[in-house]
Amino acid sequence: MPHIVVWVMIRMSQAYRVLKPGDVLTACDNVLAVPAGFLGHSAIAVGPDTIVEAVMTFPYVRRAPAAEFFRQHPRHAHYRPIPGWLADGAARYAIGYHRACQDNYARGLIMPPFSFSPAVPLEDPWSSIYCSKLVWLCYYYGAGYPLYNDYFLFTPEDLDSVLSSDSRFALVYRHSEFHFKINT
CATH number of the domain within which 57 lies: 3.90.1720
Q: What mean pLDDT do residues 86-98 have?
A: 98
Q: Is the confidence at residue 102, as pLDDT, over 80?
A: yes
Kindly report the backbone phi and psi dihedral angles of residue 118, in degrees, each rounded to the nearest multiple of 5, phi listed first. Answer: -75, -10
| 184 in a structural domain | no
Burial call 128-137: b when 16+ CB within 10 Å, e when fewer: bbbbbbbbbb
Greater confidence, 133 or 181?
A: 133
**What mean pLDDT value characterizes the chain?**
88
The answer to whether residue 163 sits within a structural domain is: yes
Least Cα distance to 161 among 140, 177, 147 occurs for 147
Q: Which domain does 144 fall in, by range?
A: 2-174
Whether 63 maps to a domain, the answer reads: yes
Examine the pLDDT at 107 and tell me if it is beyond 90.
yes
Assess if residue 183 is contained within a domain: no
Please report whether residue 108 resides in a domain: yes
Q: Are 123 and 138 in contact (CB under 8 A)?
A: no
pLDDT digit string, tens, across residues 114-159: 999 889 999 999 999 999 999 999 999 999 999 999 887 899 999 9
Number of domains making up the chain = 1
In a domain, 181, yes or no: no
Residue 39, pLDDT > 80, answer: no
Tell me the whole-structure pTM to 2 decimals. Answer: 0.88
Residue 46 pLDDT greater than 70, yes or no: yes
Residue 104: inside a domain: yes
Task: Judge whether 147 lies within some domain.
Answer: yes
pLDDT digit string (tens) for 70-82? 999 998 999 999 9
